[in-house]
Amino acid sequence: MIPVSATTSPATTLTTTFDHGWIGRFNAWFFDTFDRYINAVSRRHKQRAFADIGPGTVLEIGAGVGANFDFLAPGTHLVAVEPNEAMHARLTRRARERHMDLELVAAPAEDLPVPDDSVDTVICSLVLCTVEDPAAAIWEIRRVLRPGGTFRFVEHVAAPPLSPRRWVQTVLRRPWSWLFEGCQLCRHTGALIDAAGFADVDVQRSRFRFSVFVPVNTVVSGRAVEPAVGRPTPPWDRARIGAASP
């Protein structure tokens, strides 16, 4: 991978992209328009998960339109994984504005064209819900992290059983997934991360306060550390993670 300053043109690695037409363009507009609001309601969680990201290479799964740039230092070498072509123009523009050293990678999270042990930090927020195989994505995150590297996350998950929020998630599950490009409301991502074999996992379960987006108010956030030595071979025992990948 060749870092290229975002003040010119970012290096772009193309493997698999998708273009969902007007739905993809709607999502790019939606997340650009509501960026400040979403960051406001999730700020407490993001500050906890993304605080003190040190120097080195940062890889973001589902970089979208650059909503998490506020939590990265100017000049950060960022490998931004974003397969949705409709997001690219806004993402690149924001990288220039924030002086990011951007490398744009258009690839799925389950098959990253990134070398083993090459990344210091992986971040993601509100994106593992859209990944077709989140277990494979977590394996890829572990593969690319250097020993001792950290995975930092803020993800919406299934609300507690029998709760009003879970009822809303169940009712809206299909239309929500169609409108938001595969977003699954009832995943158990925290259990998946707990079972992934990281050396140290800190998962906090909470909810976004004062958010109008009730279906995605239940969240997990935190950090996980890649072991200094050793890495398991997938697949893991799915019995440990239950319904983590419905």
Angstrom distance (rounded) from CA 80 to CA 102: 7
What tens digit of pLDDT does each residue of 88-103 get?
999 999 999 999 999 9
Question: In angstroms, how far is CA 134 from the centroid of its own chain?
Answer: 11
CB 155 within 8 A of CB 131: no
What tens digit of pLDDT does each residue of 95-142 get?
999 999 999 999 999 999 999 999 999 999 999 999 999 999 999 999
* pLDDT for the residue numbered 233: 56
pTM: 0.87
What tens digit of pLDDT does each residue of 220-240 get?
999 999 998 766 555 544 444
Compute the mean pLDDT over every residue in the chain, rounded to the nearest whole number. 87
Q: Is 136 exposed, middle or buried (0-12, 13-18, 19+ CB in 10 A)?
A: middle
CATH architecture of 11-227: 3-Layer(aba) Sandwich (3.40)
Beta-bridge mates of residue 173: none
Question: pLDDT > 70: what percent of the chain?
Answer: 85
Rounding to the nearest 10 degrees, give the CA dihedral for residues 32, 118, 148, 124. 20
CB 88 within 8 A of CB 63: no
Q: Where are the domains of the chain?
A: 11-227
Residue 125 in 3-state DSSP? Answer: strand
N-to-C CA span, the chain: 34
